[in-house]
Amino acid sequence: MTALSAAAQLDFPATPTAAAKPWPQRHATLLLAVCLALLTLALYANSLSSAFISYDDPAYVTNNYQVQQGLTRSGVSWAFTTFTEANWHPLTWLSHMTDVQLFGLHPAGHHLTNVLLHTLNVVLFFLLLQRATGASLRSAMAAALFAVHPLNVEPVAWIAERKSLLCTAFLFLALAAYGWYVRKPTVARYLAIVLFFVLGLMAKPMIITLPCALLLLDYWPLARFRTERSSPHFSSVVFKVLAEKIPLLLFPIASAFVTIHAQRSAGSLGSVAALPLAQRLNNAIYSYLVYVLKGIWPSRLAVFYPHPEGSLALWKVLAAALVLLLISVLVWRERRFGYLPVGWLWYLGTLVPVIGIVQVGRQAMADRYAYISLLGLFVMAVWSSAEFLPRLQLARTSQFALAGAALLLYATCSYVQIGYWHDSLTLFTNALQVTTDNVIAEDNLGTAYVERGLLDEALVHYVAAVHLAPQLSRPHYNAATVLLRENRLDEAQREYAIAINSASDPLEIAQAHNNLGILLVQKNQPAEALREFDAAIRINPTELNSFIGRGSLEFQSGNLSAALGDFTRATQIAPSPIAYFWLGRTFEGQQDIRSALRAYEHAVRIAPEFAMARDRANSLRGKIQN
C-alpha cells in the first residue's frame, strides 16, 4: 500500500502563490474528480448484470410488500415506523422504494443506484481531502484506493447493503458542512452538520462515532490546536473545540437506544450465554488485525465469516494485540506527522460500533464494516508514502509506476470479487470454498438451489447447515419447506416443530406455524391445521397466508361468515388474487352474486392470467345478464 501516493511530488500547493494559479488548480481538481468517477464506473459496470441474491435482498426488496409498492404514502409512513430487519433506517427503505418506483424489480437499476452512490462517495472523499489539505494528487490516490479496493465490493455489489453507501454519503456531507463551519462558525452552518449527521443515522447508525471523528480532524488536517500548550489561550481553544461536539453526542445516544431496541425486538442481539464477553473481546481484537491484513492483501474474501466463538486460539489474540500495540506505539512516536495518529484512530474508532463487542448476528467480521474505517488507513498509506518514498531516490516515473501497479492489482482483485456477486449460487459456492463450517453459506446455497428448482441439491446444504448449527431455526425451516415440497410430510413436520421451538424472530415463528398448518391440511388434519393458522395470526396479525388458509378451512366446513371475515382481512393486508378468489367463492356460497363478481374481477385485475377467477367471473356475468 505504501506505493500508492508516490505521485504526490506533483501536488498543487494549498495556497497559490500567484494570481493566475487558482484556475489551473480548479481545472486539475475537476479533471481528477472526473477520472475517479470514470474509474469507479468502469470497474463496477459488470455488477449491473448481477441478479438479486437470496441473502437479505428478499427482505429488503424482492419479498418486501411495502417496498414493492414503490413510493406510496403508506410506504413512507411504514419506513419511519418499522423495525423490520432489526433496524430503524427509514432513508434506506425510501431509497429502495424509489428504485422500485423507477426500475421495478429489475436488478440492474438497483445495482446502478449502488454504483452511482459509491462513485459519489469516491468523488466526495477526494474533494474533502483536497480541500482540507491542498494536496490534489495525494487526495486522488487515497480516493482511488477507496474506489477500487476489494473490501468495498460487498457494500457496492450487494443491493441490501445500500445503507452503508447512503450513510457514508451523508457522513462526507457532514464533514463538508463541518469544514464550512470551521471557516466561519455560525448557527446555520452548525445546523447543517446536525442535518447531515441525522440523515446519516437514518440510513445506517454506523456513523454514531462522528463527534469523535470530528475531533480527529480538528487535530489534522484542520490544525485547530495550533496554539502552543504553554500559551494561556490553549485551554480555551481545547474547551471550545470540545464544547462544539457536546450537542452532537445526543444523536448517537438516541440512535444507539433505538438500534438496540430494534435489534432486541427482532432477536438479533447475541445473548451473553450464547457468546460470552470474553469470546467477543477476543474476536474483536483479532478482527482489528485481520481488517488491516485484508486491507493490505485482500484474499479469501467472503460474504459471511463465521464467528470462531470459543475456537479462536489464544496465541492469535495475543499476537494481534501485540501487533496493534506496536503500530499504536509507532504512530505515537511519529505523531508529528498528523495524518498517522488521525488515520490510525479513525480506523480504530469508526470500527467500534461493528467490531462485535455488542454482537449482532453470527458473523466474526464483514467486509462492508470496513467501508468507512479503511479511509483512515488509506490516508496513512498515501501520505506516508509521499513523505518517505522520495528518500529512496526513485525516479518519478518509477514512483508513478508503483502507484499504478498497486491500483491495478487491487482493481483486478475487485473485478474478480464482483464476479462472485453475479448470483447466489456463485456467491455462496465461493464462500464455502474460502471459509470453513459456514452455516450461513450452506443455508443460502440451499436457497440458491431451490430457486433453480434443484430440491435434492438444496436439501443437502440445508442438512449440512442443520448439522453445523442445530440450534438455529432457519436451516430447520428451510429444510422443512423442501421436505414439504417433496411430500415427505412427517420429516417436514418434525423440522417445522424444531424451527418453532428454536426461533427468536416472531415473524419467522409465524411463518413456520403457517407452513405447518398447510402441511396438516395435506395430512387431512383440519382441526390441527386450524390451530396452527390461529397461532400464526396471534403472533403476526398481518400473516396473509394464514388468513387465507384458515378461511379455506372455514369455507370447507360451511362456516361462511367466519371465512368471509378472514378473506376480507386478507384482502386488506395485501391485494392478493388468491384472497379475492376465495372471497368470491364465499360470496357465491352466500348467494351474493354481485359481490362475488366484484371479488373475481379484483383477482383478475391483479393477476390477468388467473384463469379460474376469470372463468367464474364470466359465468356470473352470464347469470346476472340472464
Hey, CA dihedral for 29, 30, 32, 33, is it positive or negative? positive
Query: Based on the structure, what is the number of domains in the chain?
Result: 2
Specify if 467 maps to a domain: no
Confidence of residue 15 (pLDDT cuts 50, 70, 90): very low
Q: Provide φ and ψ at 269, rounded to 5°.
A: -75, 130
Final residue in a domain of this structure, among 420, 436, 459 = 420
Instruction: Give the model confidence (pLDDT) of 561-570 as tens digits.
Output: 999 999 999 9
Specify if 93 maps to a domain: yes
Same domain, 111 and 256: yes
* Dist. CA 192–CA 184, nearest whole Å: 13
Spell out the residues 6+ positions from residue 353 whose beta carbon is closer than 8 angstroms to its own: 205, 206, 208, 209
Amino acid letter, residue 225: F
Specify if 599 maps to a domain: yes
- List the grid coordinates of 257: 437506544
* Dist. CA 156–CA 110, nearest whole Å: 11
Q: Is the pLDDT of residue 339 over 60?
A: yes
Among the listed ranges 27-36, 97-106, 201-210, 218-227, which one has the minimum average pLDDT value?
218-227
For residue 585, what is the domain's CATH number?
1.25.40.10
* 3-class secondary structure, 272: coil
Final residue in a domain of this structure, among 389, 420, 451 = 420
Instruction: Give the model confidence (pLDDT) of 148-207 as tens digits.
Output: 999 999 999 999 999 999 999 999 999 999 999 999 999 999 999 999 999 999 999 999
Specify if 266 maps to a domain: yes
Place of cell 368470491: 584
Instruction: Give the model confidence (pLDDT) of 107-140 as tens digits.
Output: 999 999 999 999 999 999 999 999 999 999 999 9
Q: What's the pLDDT at 121?
A: 98
Same domain, 120 and 267: yes
Specify if 11 maps to a domain: no
Place of cell 494536496: 135
Q: Is the peptide bond before 577 cis (omega within 30 degrees of 0)?
A: no
Specify if 235 maps to a domain: yes
Q: Provide φ and ψ at 363, rounded to 5°.
A: -85, 150
Confidence of residue 266 (pLDDT cuts 50, 70, 90): low
Confirm whether pTM is higher than 0.85.
yes
Comparing C-alpha atoms, which of 136, 138, 176 is closest to residue 22?
Answer: 136
Contact 238, 219 (CB under 8 A): no
Rounded to the nearest 10 degrees, the angle between the axes of helix 611-625 and helix 577-589 is: 40
Q: What's the pLDDT at 14?
A: 37
Same domain, 553 and 411: no
Specify if 485 maps to a domain: no
pLDDT cut 70: percent of the chain above it: 94
Specify if 533 maps to a domain: no
Same domain, 415 and 549: no
Q: How much is the average pLDDT of 606-612? A: 93
The angle formed by the CA atoms of residues 326, 366 and 114, to the nearest 5 degrees, is: 125
Final residue in a domain of this structure, among 404, 420, 436 = 420
* 3-class secondary structure, 360: strand
* Dist. CA 380–CA 523, nearest whole Å: 65
Q: What is the mean pLDDT of the chain?
A: 92
pLDDT cut 90: percent of the chain above it: 83
Q: What's the pLDDT at 446?
A: 97
Q: What's the pLDDT at 228?
A: 56
**Domain span holding position 86:** 24-420
